[in-house]
A and B are shown apart, each in its own frame.
Chain A
Amino acid sequence: MQTVLSIAIDALAYGMVLFVISIGLSVTMGLMRVVNLAHGAFAMIGGYIASYAARDLGLAYGFAVLLAIFGTIIIAVPIERLLYRRIYGAPELTQVLMTIGITFCIIGIANYVFGPTLKTVPLPGELQGSVDLGFRAIATHRIFAILCGLVVAAGLWYAIEKTAFGVKLRASVDNAAMAAALGVRTEIVYAVSFAVAVGLAAFGGVVGAELLPVEPYYALRYMVTFLVVVSVGGAGSIPGALVACLLLGAIDTTGRYLMPEFGEFFFYLAVIAIICVFPRGLAGRAKG
């Protein structure tokens, strides 16, 4: 019983970290219809900035996180204006080629600027160490990651479903020409959503850094995981992504405990099964 509970907690923690890192990609892919393979690269930039701010400049953790989010957005906005704007509505293959190219460029630059070694984001005292749950210990930063995931999920859901901006965003996505005709400035809507998605990527990169350490190949190493979460959850759906992360986290963790020799067999088996039953993901919206 203890073991079952223990696995459940690990699964929850892992799933929430996945969620925090992948949700930004769900926004770009689902709401903006851009297959952004450079998502991991933005998460990595966030990680590097936070690491630099906290380790080399000695700033407080919270400040480093903010700096990472806004720093990454500042880097990403020109990229959006110059490159991404050309591929909105372009065929998927064009988007994939462009974003994978951006990814390779960022990997090269990161390798050149920060070197090939691992970088960590030092945690503040409150998040270090572990909490004793009675039957086992769990790292405090994992609990922090779970909370961050919940806050992000609630905040995004509210912003997209309940605010005026969310309405404009959904309108622009479904029919850009009509939305523009009705006076919605779609360019600004897109730019803001892109910035939010990149900020979420950076936030995920920092919060998840304990699990997925920051190094130049981060951008490619975890790309498949991010894409899987989005496709299983259904692009653009916050609850879908949340359920997908918890489900995949549970399957992966249990599989790894019971039969580590099978590797990621169960993870991908589950992905295949879910995609067979729900081709658009658990909460995917039919294309309008």
Chain B
Amino acid sequence: MKRMILAAVAALAMGGAAYADTIKIGVVGPFSGPFALQGKNFKAGIDAYMALNGSKVGDDDIEIIYRDVPQADPAQAKALAQELVVKEGVQYLAGFYFTPDAMAVTPLLTQANVPLVIMNAATSAIVTKSPLVVRTSFTTWQTSTPIAKVAKDAGVSKVISVVSDYGPGVDAENAFKAGFEAAGGQVVEAIRMPLATNDFSPIMQRIKDSGAEGVFAFLPSGPTTLGFVKAFKENGLKDGGIKFFAPGDLTQESDLPALGEAALGIQTTFHYAVSHDSPENKAFVEAAGKAIGNPAELSFPSVGAYDGMHVIYKMIEATGGEQDAAKAVEAVKGLSWTSPRGPVSIDAESRHITQNIYLREVAKADDGTYYNKEIQTFEKQGDPGLAALK
């Protein structure tokens, strides 16, 4: 009886407070340092969503609290997440560009009663670490598997795989290999290069000597991509007829002005191109471009953040602003909507986003800028990486 009264009093107190309350969302991402551009994209996506859909859900105001983890740093990510939950009292955690950071935070979720919405980190295993994780970005497996089919359809049967030697690179190598061998192709050689490689000429020589008809490559977006793509052209591989396949990280929009001519004609598969032709995307690009300042800096993490906000808004609607992580996550299982990237849904079992993967080719627009032109759609792709984990 005593407990019931206490609970009633507590509910009253909380109910009173929840009325026109402020719901806080803690976003962890790289907002300074070498990856600041990706953090800026998180912020642009979030700002765009709130500009288009308002900063209120029901009667509750939404407040975003940002925390900066400049480089993959699990210990710091965990400390910041803890601080957000305990001191700031956030109801939702979101963001996370790097897998190790997200992994470090998953053990906190159940006790903190907080759902985690991943807006980028792309390793398949994260969603298995806690039932309170929902992901609105992509996985490397998800974006790298369709390109294997594209390669086989292009008449290439021998491919050399060249990836940067770190987690996502190894994921990409395995995903491509699985997909390509299932399609009847052969990966003749698999090279893993150090992340800090500047000069790719020796790698190009290796590719040439391997006798492969095509190359599958994965490097983290940024400076190394530029060196790799340029070396591919300058060492005569492009003109030598060797075909180039990669997931879309290699031709992210913010790198394209620098890649320019060298990237022309490269085919990649990815979940989002800024050029995607739909009314939803037009509205999104306009709002996000305004939020980021320079629209040329817009890239894929922004759409992950935008959809992440959509999922969080739906969670808040479903729970009426109360803190109930399990109910919130339950509410978005199977949720489907039209994202700027196309039709998407949250897979009820894995809590990962099911989406279209597009085959794109780098093309030159009339105004002389380069963009990813979507030429083929692989509909409703789940995450094949989860099956590979088992």
Contact = CB atoms under 8 A, between A and B. Distances in A.
Given A115-B297, A117-B258, A119-B258, A260 B235 contact: no
Q: Tell me whether chain A's interface is mostly helix, strand or loop, or mixed.
A: mixed
Contact of B230 (A6, A132, A210): A210
A212 B198 contact: yes
Nearest to A249: B199
Contact of B201 (A13, A118, A132, A217): A13
A256 B233 CA distance: 19
Contact of B202 (A7, A115, A138, A210): A7
Contact of B193 (A132, A217, A260): A260
Nearest to B294: A115
B205 interface: yes
Interface string B285-300: 0000000001011000
Interface stretch (B44-52, B219-227, B330-338, B355-363): B219-227
Nearest to B257: A117
B318 interface: no
A288 to B, nearest CB: 36
Contacts of B54: none
Nearest to A9: B201
A281 B50 CA distance: 59
A264 B234 CA distance: 23
Contacts of B366: none
A146 to B, nearest CB: 13
A215 B223 contact: yes
B202 A10 contact: yes
Contacts of B40: 116
Contacts of B208: 136
B153 interface: no
Nearest to A263: B194
Interface residues of B, number: 39
Nearest to A137: B236
Contacts of A136: 205, 208, 235-236
Contacts of B276: none
Interface centre among B205, B227, B255 (most CB of A within 10 A): B205
A260 B163 CA distance: 11
Interface string A6-21: 1100100110000000
B234 A138 contact: yes
Interface in B2-56: 33-34, 36-37, 40
A111 interface: yes
B36 A116 contact: yes
Nearest to A129: B234
A152 B371 CA distance: 39
Contacts of B128: none
Interface in A128-149: 129-130, 132, 136-139, 142
Contacts of B223: 118, 212-213, 215, 221
Given A211-B198, A213-B226, A213-B258, A130 B36 contact: no
Contact of B205 (A10, A14, A132, A211): A10
B165 A116 contact: no
Interface of A: 3, 6-7, 10, 13-14, 111, 115-120, 129-130, 132, 136-139, 142, 210-213, 215-217, 221-222, 225, 252-254, 256-257, 260-261, 263-264
24 contacts: A3-B205, A6-B205, A7-B202, A10-B199, A115-B297, A116-B36, A116-B37, A116-B297, A117-B37, A117-B255, A118-B255, A118-B257, A137-B234, A211-B199, A213-B226, A216-B34, A217-B34, A253-B201, A253-B202, A254-B202, A256-B202, A256-B203, A257-B206, A263-B193
Given A10-B201, A139-B235, A216-B34, 8 more contacts: A10-B199, A115-B294, A116-B36, A132-B236, A212-B227, A221-B223, A261-B165, A263-B196
